[in-house]
Amino acid sequence: MEHRHQVLIETVKRLIRRDAHHNIAKVLAKSHPADVAYLFRELELNEQHILFTLIEDKETSATVISELDPEVGAELLTELGREQITEVLEEMAYDDAADVIQNLPEELADQVLQQMETEDSQEIEQLLQYDEETAGGIMATEFFSLQEELTVKEAIAALQEQEDAEMVFYLYVTNSHNQLVGVLSLRKLLTVSPARKLKDIMDGDIISVRIDMDQEEVAKVVEKYNILAVPVVDDANKLMGIITVDDIIDVIRAEATEDIYKMAGASDEELLLGYKSFKIARLRLPWLITNLLGGVVTGYLMWLFKMTLKEVLALISFIPVITGMGGNVGSQSATIVVRGFATGRIEMNTIRRVIFKEMRVGLIMGTVCGVTVGLIAYFWHGNPYLGLVVGLAMVIAMTVAASMGVMAPTFFKKIGVDPAIAAAPFVQTANDITGILIYFATATFFLQLLK
């Protein structure tokens, strides 16, 4: 499969370079829509623009747009005429179409909605009312539900008439007010007496999510209960839609990618900026400036301890080791905590245990590294007290760094700042500063023995 994708990518790129548009159209027509969608993710934005205009089949175009980020999909659609845009969007699931329409220019979006069939536009406009990162924003409204008073025989007959339902592995049961009252599996429906009513065989213990719940929280619910779909209800417990596991996978992938970008001090917006170097630099600079200022503070602290350095010049040898190891340990702890908050494995009520655990880990690693670097200092400079100072400073610095790696993300989460954005640069800078302070304070304390 991977080989086939690679061959397709290389073939299309070669044809694009040759401007062989007729041949590209033939290749796209013979390829499966999912393969074409995969191909788009491997191309630059300008190549995507060329390729998209060459797709003749509207279903393939819809599949491609559904698989891409809504911002990119909307930008590609603007290459087409209004009628063509409408045709493509009508081939898409309502939730995917709503995401794309949100990113179209406002005037064009209004024109497309007016041109759509009434039923399609009404469903999409309803979805547009919700934030795109909530349960309402990602739910599918093409779901299948059954009235609780129906018999099994009647339910099976209704099921056989369905064509557009998103998923029928779970059958959701509602009352006369369209409120969600139960759920049953397709298997159970087919294995009980045809005369029994659904309200007698359904499971009333329903796992559902509110329509305004954040999509990341929805993903945690699906992961926790290991289900293929979750129903979405409003304040009155009315069934509004369902979210299937394929949408959850997209959410998890998007949230994980976003967190990784943030921790690197970058942004997924960079993908949309292509090769616009100045704009990309502007996005990254704030986090680099943070580290720059931290470096200046570190340098100032070293200047304050210049007398200690002057007395024992050998101390310079281990400054990079102290700051580097502290930064690494802090980053490791911060990454674990940020990911723990994101997945729900770490909560505020368990953070104390996490802090003490990371302190113990830092102490163990610091002891091992401290003994190692202390012995190196002794054999290198021939001064056992230098080895003691370097080793002791390493133990303390790494223990503090591990603790800082937990406390910094926790603090930012507590005050409502995304820890994925702020934790990494703060932890790195703070550990550089504390590492230098610990190192030179220890050296100053033992200064008479070091001379």
Higher pLDDT, 206 or 282: 206
- How many whole angstroms from its chain centre is CA 89? 26
pLDDT over 90, % of the chain: 16
Q: How many CB atoms lie within 10 A of CB 245?
A: 17
User: In this model, does residue 260 exceed pLDDT 70?
Assistant: no
Which positions ≥6 away from 33 have C-beta within 8 Å? 57, 59, 60, 63, 64
Predicted confidence (pLDDT) per residue in 130-183, tens digit: 888 899 988 888 788 899 999 999 988 888 887 665 556 788 999 988 999 999
Window from 56-70, 81-95, 264-278 with minimum mean pLDDT? 264-278
As a whole number, mean pLDDT of residues 329-340 equals 83
Q: Is the pTM of this model over 0.85?
A: no
Q: Which residue has the higher pLDDT, 256 or 448?
A: 448
Return the pLDDT at 99: 85
- Pick from 44-58, 103-117, 142-156, 265-279: least confident: 265-279
How much is the pLDDT for 232? 94
Structure tokens at 122: 């009404």
Per-residue pLDDT band for 255 (boundaries 50, 70, 90) equals confident
CATH number at 145-245: 3.10.580.10
User: Is the predicted pLDDT of residue 254 greater than 80, yes or no?
Assistant: no
Q: What is the mean pLDDT of residues 256-271?
A: 59
Biggest CA–CA distance in the chain, Å, is 95
Share of the chain above pLDDT 70, in %: 89
Q: What is the mean pLDDT of residues 414-422?
A: 73
Buried-state track 36-51, b at ≥16 Cβ within 10 A, e below 16: bbbbbeebeeebbebb
Q: Is the pLDDT of residue 424 over 80?
A: no
Other beta carbons within 10 angstroms of residue 112's beta carbon come to 23
Rounded average pLDDT over 412-435? 78
Report d(CA 395, CA 442) in Å as an integer: 11
> What span, in angstroms and rounded, lies between the C-alpha atoms of 407 and 413?
10
Domain ranges of the chain: 2-129, 145-245, 270-450
pLDDT at residue 274 greater than cutoff 60: no
- Sequence-distant (≥ 6) Cβ neighbours of residue 416 within 8 angstroms: none
Domain 2-129: give its CATH superfamily. Answer: MgtE N-terminal domain-like (1.25.60.10)
Whole-number pLDDT of residue 392? 93
pLDDT for position 1 = 57
pLDDT category of residue 119 using cuts at 50, 70 and 90: confident
- The sheet carrying 239-244 orders its strands as 209-210, 229-233, 239-244
Q: Is 233 helix (H, G, I), strand (E, B) or coil?
A: strand
Exposure string of 169-179, with b = 16+ CB inside 10 Å and e = fewer, is: ebbbbbeeebe
The CATH H-level (homologous superfamily) assignment of domain 270-450 is: SLC41 divalent cation transporters, integral membrane domain (1.10.357.20)
Inform me whether the pLDDT recorded for 265 exceeds 70: no
**pLDDT recorded at residue 262:** 62
How far is Cα 51 from Cα 32, in angstroms, rounded to an integer? Answer: 15
The per-residue pLDDT for 269 is 54
Q: How large is the average pLDDT for residues 95-121? A: 84
Asked if pLDDT for residue 44 goes beyond 60, the answer is yes
Name the phi and psi angles at 232, rounded to 5: -110, 130
